Structure 1
Amino acid sequence: MTAAEPTIVATSGGHRIGDRTRVVFDALVHHAIDLSGVHGRRPRILYVGTAIGDAEHFTARMTEAARVPGFDLTPLHLFPMPNVEDVEGTVLDHDVVWVMGGSVVNLLAVWRAHGLDHIMHKAWQAGVVLSGVSAGSLCWFQGGATDSFGPELRPVTNALGFLPYSNGVHYDSDEGRRPLTHRLVAEGTLPTAHCTDDGVGLVYCGTELVEAVTEIPGRGAYQVTRDGNRAVEERIEPRRLPAHRV
C-alpha cells in the first residue's frame, strides 16, 4: 500500500522525550504513516540519518522509538558505505521515509554522490511518503536558511527541488531564521517560503500545499512571498493532530 499520490510531510518536529525511552515518535510521524495508507500489517519506516553522519546512537534511539508503537524500522546508512546492497529496492519497499535533521548541505552532497536524490524522486512518484525534520524537511525544497556552514545562518539554494518553494524550519525557536528568510525572499535569492514553528508540519500532495498540522497547540506555519522589494508573511493556522501517548 502506498499513498494515492506523491506525498511529502515536511516538519520541524516529530520527536519528543519519552517516559521510558529517550525518544518517541510524536504525532507528525504517525500522521506521515497514516498518509501512506498502510493497514493490516506493521508500517515500514526507512530512517535516514545522513545529515548527522549516520550517528549510531541516534539510529538506536529511532529503532527503539519505532518498537514502542509497533513499527518496522530499517536504517539506511551511507557511512562508511551503504549498509544494504540494493539501495533503490530498499527505499521503494517502505511506506514512509523519515529523514533526520543535521547538515542539509552534507546530506545533499552525500545523497548525490550515491544517486539517492534520484532514488528519492522515484520513491516519491511511486507513493512512498517522504518526510523528515529540519534538514529532513528542507532537503525536499528549492532551499532555505541553514546553519550547515557554521553558527551564522546562510542560504542553501541547491536542495532537491521536488517542491517549488523554499523552506524555513525552527521558525520560532531560532531567532535568526525569520529575518533571514524574509531578506532572501525579498531579494529573490529564494522563492516563496513555507515555514514551520517547532512541532508543525506541512503536507504536500504533488507540489501543492494541502494542509498544515501540528502536534503542539499554539504553534504556526507561515507563507512568505515577495512583493516588489519586500517580503510579506502570512500565517497558516495548522490543524491539531491527535496526541499519541506511549
Structure 2
Amino acid sequence: MTASCPTILATSAGFVPHPRLRFTFGPMMALAVDLASERGVVDGQRARICVVGTASGDDARFQRDMDEAARDSGYELQHLSLFSQPNVDDVESYLRGFDVVWVNGGSVVNLLAVWRAHGLPEIFRTLWQEGVVLAGISAGSLCWFQGGTTDSFGPELAPVTDALGFLPYGNSVHHDSEDGRRPLIHRLVADGTFSEAHCTDDGAGLVYRGTELAEAVTEKEGASAWRVRRGADGTTVEEQVPTQLLA
C-alpha cells in the first residue's frame, strides 16, 4: 500500500509513555500508517514499517525498544541498519517492501554523511515519488528539508544547510522546548539562508503532499506548528499554523 501522491510526515513526535515499556507509539505513528492507506491495512495484512536509526548509530537497545513498541501497537516493523555495514544485500529493494519509512532522531549531520556514502538520498527520492510515506522525528524530520537547526556539532545549536531538500524549506524541531531553536531559525530566514521555515513544537507534526504543506497535526494538547517568513522590512514573521489534535 502506498500514498496517493508523494507524502512526508515531519515531526517532533511519535512516542508516548507506556507503563511497562520504555515507550510505545502514539497517534503520530498511526497517522503515518493511515497516510499510506486510508484503511491502514490491506487484505488483512498489518502495516509494514521500516525504522532507520542511522542518526543514533543503529543503537541496538533503541531498536529493541522500537520492536517492543511495534508489538504493543500491532505493527509489523523491521530495521534498516547501516552500521557497520548494511544489514541487507539490496537496500532499495528492501525499502520498497514497506509502507512507511520512519527515521529516528539523533545526529542529522552524521545521518546525512552515512546516507550519502550508501546512496540513500537517491533511493529515498525514488521511493517518495512512488508513494512510500517518508516520516520521522527530530533528525528524521530535518533530513527531508533544505536544513534547519541542529545540535549535531556540539552543545550550541548551529545551522545545517545541506539536507536532502525534498521539501524546499528550513525546519526547526523541538521549537518550544529548546530555547535556542526559535531565534536561530529566525536568523536563518532573516539572512536568506532559508526563504521560509516550518517548525514543530514537541508533540506536533507536518504533513506534506508533494512539496506543499497540507496540514499540521498534534498528538499533545497545546503543541503547535509554526511558519516563519521574511517580512518586507527584513525582519521575520512567525505565524501559528492551525493544528488538528489526533485522536
TM-score, normalized by the shorter chain, greater than 0.5: yes
Aligned with residue 67 of structure 1, among 64, 71, 87: 71
> Aligned to 2:145, what secondary structure does the other structure show?
coil
Q: Aligned runs of 1:129-208 on 2, under 5 Å? A: 129-208=133-212
Q: Provide Cα deviations, 1:175-231, integer angstroms capped at 9, x if missing partner.
A: 100011101100112220000000000000000100000000111100000124211
1:17 shift after superposition: 2.1
Q: Which runs of at least 4 in structure 1 moved beyond 4 Å after TM superposition?
A: none
Report whether the alignment pairs 1:100 with 2:104. yes
Separation in 2, partners of 1:23, 1:119: 30
Partners of 2:122 and 2:69 in 1: CA distance: 28
Match of 1:203, SS? Answer: strand
Q: CA RMSD in A?
A: 0.8
Question: In 2, Cα distance between the equivalents of 1:111 and 1:70?
Answer: 29
2:244 corresponds in structure 1 to 239
Q: State the AA in 1 paired with 2:24.
A: V
Work out the CA distance in 1 between the residues paired with 2:150 and 2:115: 17
Q: Does 1:120 align with 2:124?
A: yes
- Name which of 214, 219, 229 aligns with 1:215: 219
Equivalent residue for 1:5? 5
CA distance, structure 2, for counterparts of residue 114 and residue 84 of structure 1: 12
| TM-score, normalised with respect to structure 1 | 0.97
Secondary structure, in 3 states, of the residue corresponding to 2:109? helix
The Cα shift of 1:23 comes to: 1.4
> How far off is 1:237 after superposition?
1.9
1:47 aligns with: 51
- Match in the other structure for 1:90: 94
> In 1, Cα distance between the equivalents of 2:79 and 2:195?
33
Question: Taking every aligned residue pair, what percent have the same amino acid on both sides?
Answer: 60
* Equivalent position amino acid for 2:23 in 1: V
Q: How far apart, CA to CA, are the structure 1 residues paired with 2:24 and 2:110?
A: 26
* Structure 1 segments unaligned to the other structure (5+ residues): none
After the TM superposition, which residues 19-58 of structure 1 pair with which residues of structure 2 at under 5 Å, given as runs? 19-37=19-37, 38-39=40-41, 40-58=44-62
Counterpart of 2:243, as a letter, is P
SS of match in other structure, 2:187: helix
| Conservation of the 8 A alpha-carbon contact between 1:187 and 1:230 | no
The 2-side partners of 1:3 and 1:231 are apart by 34
Aligned equivalents of 1:52, 1:85: Cα separation in 2? 22
Aligned-pair distance for 1:69? 1.8
Q: 1:75 deviation in Å?
A: 0.6
| 1:7-46 deviations in Å (ceiling 9; x for gaps) | 0000001002212211100111110000100423101000
TM-score, length-scaled by structure 2: 0.96
SS of residue paired to 1:198: coil
Conservation of the 8 A alpha-carbon contact between 1:131 and 1:137: yes
What is the CA–CA distance in structure 2 between the aligned matches of 1:19 and 1:237, rounded to whole Å?
32
How many equivalent residue pairs? 242
Equivalent-residue separation in structure 2 for 1:231 and 1:158 (angstroms): 22
- Report the 3-state secondary structure (helix = DSSP H, G, I; strand = E; otherwise coil) of the residue aligned with 2:205: strand
